[in-house]
Structure 1
Amino acid sequence: MAEPDTQPATGPGTPPGTAGRREGIPLGRIAGVPVVLAYSWFVIAAFTVIAYGPVLAQNNPMLGVSAYLVAFAYAVLLLISVLVHELAHALTAKIYGWPTQKIVLNLWGGHTQFESFTASPGRSVLVALAGPAANFVLAGGAWLLLGTNSLGSVAEILTNIFMWANFLIAVFNVLPGLPLDGGRLVESIVWKATGSQAKGTVAAGWGGRVIVVAIAYWFLLRPYLAGDQPDFSLLMITILVGGFLWMGASASIQQGTLRARLPLVSAAGLSTPAVGIPATGTVRDALRLAAAGTKSLVVCGPDGRPQAVVDPGALASVPGAAADTTPVTAISFPLAAGAYIPEWSKGQELIQFLSQLEGRHYAVVDHNGAVTGLLTQDVVLAAITGKGRRNDKRPQGQNR
């Protein structure tokens, strides 16, 4: 349930707290960690009341209509169990200096979003398994409380439900496949053995898919082969949980595959050779540089910083008689503010840097600030995804 998420909760110009309000209801902070109750939680709460209320009323006739209130209390206790689970992740991560962005409680239980951090196999396992461990503790506490025989009927029902809910949450989450916490154990074992976290993530993602197949066999196919019709509620829960796990496992496989390609992503390796041309230059100056074999031309301002890119199509369309009088800025398209990157940037560092920049073109500069290349967003995406560049009939270098 603890999936690292390095994306910011708000974007530029977004008022503080706006994203949180869109996502759900802010419940405040616990140990400095913001907690948000997603609107989707009310769906599972309603389902719990509708599905479990009649069962409680049938098994406990003395409850009457209040059986539905008890069912809602069960949904709240389940919410508390998930919150404790996620807090265990966050507080354990805090020991290692991993900043937690927020905890979100939603339809599927919840998840903890971390900010950027440097993980290791051992620490990743400890942070992941802290959640199920907390639920085992809650289940044990409820079991001890049931042994006192001093509870009323309703309290005993809720305590018994609370015990089994936490036990099942703990057991379910230690299953060896992502997106479950136990998947981090598989990831860390493969990571430690191969030295590649990406390979570990892919292996754990496949483990998650195996778990989905096993669940489908046990709860759907096995009863069907035995001639039994599965309960409708069980059927829906199995489909929903299986679908959620399959999507999470597939996302983990994709994430691991993309992470494995990160070492191939470098500003120097992916950029096309380019040189800088002063903004005071003319089309004639640009033509001389192009004739010398320069593939891309980056227009630099008075301070030497890249500010635009010469459009090859526009450059070729200028009549020869006007080449000496037409400024190079007239045949250029602007770069986004600050869209220049060091040529030594690579991997995750480069991706995070580009995510903070606007536009689709970035000038590449050396230690002295001189332009050495031009990098495009399409080339970076192609390197990460392993897919070819998109077929674009517009002039190469045109800003979009």
Structure 2
Amino acid sequence: MTETSTPVRREGIPLGRIFGVPVVLAYSWFIIAAFTVIVYGPVLARSNPALGTSAYVVAFAYAVLLLISVLVHELAHALTAKIYGWPTEKIVLNLWGGHTQFESFTASPGRSVLVALAGPAANFVLAGGAWLVLANTSMGSVAEILTNIFMWANFLIGVFNVLPGLPLDGGRMVESAVWKATGSQAKGTIAAGWGGRLIVVGIAYWFLIRPFLAGDDPDLGLVMITVLVGSFLWMGASASIQQGQFRTRLPGVTAAGLSTPATGLPATASVKDALASSAGGTVSVVVCGADGRPEGVVQPAALHSVPDAAAAATPITAVSFALAAGAYVPEWSRGQELIGFLSQVKGRHYAVVDHNGKVTGLLAQDSVVTAITGKAPRPNRGAPGRTR
């Protein structure tokens, strides 16, 4: 029997590797490229009538220069992280500029700041280089326009990214400062996330509310850019706050602490046996196979649904629902380790076992979700089906 794999959706166009780091151009980048041509093309045509329709080509070149600037910014992050042994999975260039995706690593406040600020520093270097070229070289009009754009674009990217709020690089400074002061990275992430939200409020006031109060006519292009950038920052800041809150709850995510009492019985046991060993049917029963591994669950309500006269003759497998293969965890499992395991195993219930493999509890996926998010999950209308 052959296995068919589900096609993996490509997130963009692979551009190859730079210094060993895979670079992907997301399809969404073409949206910002088109936006740049549509908005900036007419501006160039008005300010430089000699360009004619080629102003739109120059505008597209501007979009490409922005792409290069962002790529250098992200490469600076990746290469600085490489110094500390942080593995980089890939760089993605997209609608929002780009991001560097790292594999798991152990960070520290100081290293986090250095990796974050490497990006803006690279843009300031590019801006300085372009300024030197403009100051010492005589170029044609188009080349001069593009070099000038390249200089200002990198300068503004650098300045913008050092603003003190996540998801901007400057937010890592806030995160690291709070982290260093409190010893909690989670508190630092939450503080930096709120810093990001305050930046959005400041941008909205300066570019939208202030001109409106002054009675100025709004510039459609500026309004669109402000809304676009503000939306991106707000979503990133909110995600950072949620991530920080998740980290603060992570210590409370333990198999032993979140499970309910349960007892284990062999599949050959009867409902009468289960009632006797489960405190009169007040706790769940985990059905174990011949090898002793958990295979199913009988909840108290299912035990009590069997008439007393039939309890001795009814096997517990008749009122059980199956556990997913391998759905059992050691009672000492906790934090990211526990979450990582549960994410790989299907099902909504997991047996909890001690060092000897004896069943001590039953862990529900909903309990873990509540511990992580602080919110109870929505009720699931579908009850577990009986499979035996």
Partner of 2:211: 223
1:124 to 98, 101, 112: 112
CA offsets 1:46-96 (integer angstroms, 9 cap, x no match)? 111111111112222222211111111110110111111111111222222
2:306 to 289, 312, 318: 318
- The offset of 1:35, in angstroms, is 1.6
- The offset of 1:398, in angstroms, is 6.6
- The offset of 1:394, in angstroms, is 6.8
- The offset of 1:389, in angstroms, is 5.5
Mapped to 1, the partners of 2:19 and 2:267 lie a distance apart of 53
CA offsets 1:193-232 (integer angstroms, 9 cap, x no match)? 0111111111101111111111111112222222222311
**1:241 aligned to 2:229?**
yes
SS of the equivalent of 1:298 reads strand
Mapped to 2, the partners of 1:61 and 1:272 lie a distance apart of 76
CA offsets 1:237-289 (integer angstroms, 9 cap, x no match)? 11111121111111211211121111111111110111211122222221211
- The offset of 1:178, in angstroms, is 0.6
- The offset of 1:32, in angstroms, is 2.4
Name the stretch that deviates more: 140-149 or 183-192: 140-149
Q: Percent identity?
A: 79
**Is the 1:273–1:294 contact (alpha carbons within 8 Å) kept by the matching residues of 2?**
no
SS of the equivalent of 2:136 reads coil
- The offset of 1:292, in angstroms, is 4.9
Name the stretch that deviates more: 308-317 or 171-180: 308-317
Runs of 4+ in 1 over 4 A off after TM superposition: 12-15, 389-395, 397-400
Mapped to 2, the partners of 1:102 and 1:57 lie a distance apart of 38
- The offset of 1:294, in angstroms, is 5.7
1:200 to 178, 188, 198: 188
TM-score (norm 2): 0.93
CA offsets 1:30-51 (integer angstroms, 9 cap, x no match)? 2222222111111110111111
**1:62 aligned to 2:50?**
yes
**Aligned pairs (5 A) from 1:182-331:** 182-292=170-280, 295-331=283-319
- The offset of 1:28, in angstroms, is 1.9
Partner of 1:100: 88
Mapped to 1, the partners of 2:346 and 2:5 lie a distance apart of 14
- Number of residues of Structure 1 aligned to a counterpart in Structure 2: 384
SS of the equivalent of 2:366 reads helix
Over the aligned positions, Cα root-mean-square deviation in angstroms equals 2.0
1:383 to 360, 367, 371: 371
Mapped to 2, the partners of 1:389 and 1:153 lie a distance apart of 61
**Is the 2:262–2:278 contact (alpha carbons within 8 Å) kept by the matching residues of 1?**
no
TM-score (norm 1): 0.91
2:160 to 153, 157, 172: 172
Mapped to 1, the partners of 2:381 and 2:158 lie a distance apart of 54
Partner of 2:126: 138
Partner of 2:37: 49
- The offset of 1:399, in angstroms, is 8.7
- The offset of 1:392, in angstroms, is 5.6
User: Counterpart amino acid of 1:232?
Assistant: L
